[in-house]
Amino acid sequence: MIRRTTIELDEDLVERAKRALGAPTTRATVEEALRRVADAGDAAERDRTERQLALLDELSRRLDLEVLGSEEMWR
């Protein structure tokens, strides 16, 4: 879906971004910048999930979950 939006942009920043991204137009620059940020955010979320799953796996090897859920744990 494409939506028309009017925003004010710093012209110097747009030009710097165009050069850095090799984008020919402001629209292409903004879209590529948004794509890269979204991709980086997705990758960071995947990395966090993988680290959390690894931690849970490690904890399950080090902890006795039956003891944690029992009355014995709280004596």
Query: What pLDDT score was predicted for residue 61?
Result: 84
Q: Which regions of the chain are under pLDDT 50?
A: none
Structure tokens at 66: 């039956």
Query: What pLDDT score was predicted for residue 16?
Result: 98
Query: What pLDDT score was predicted for residue 59?
Result: 85
* Cα 17 to Cα 27: distance, rounded to the nearest angstrom: 11
Query: What pLDDT score was predicted for residue 8?
Result: 96
Query: What pLDDT score was predicted for residue 40?
Result: 98
Each domain of the chain, given as residue ranges in start order, spans 11-74
Query: What pLDDT score was predicted for residue 62?
Result: 84
Structure tokens at 38: 């979204």
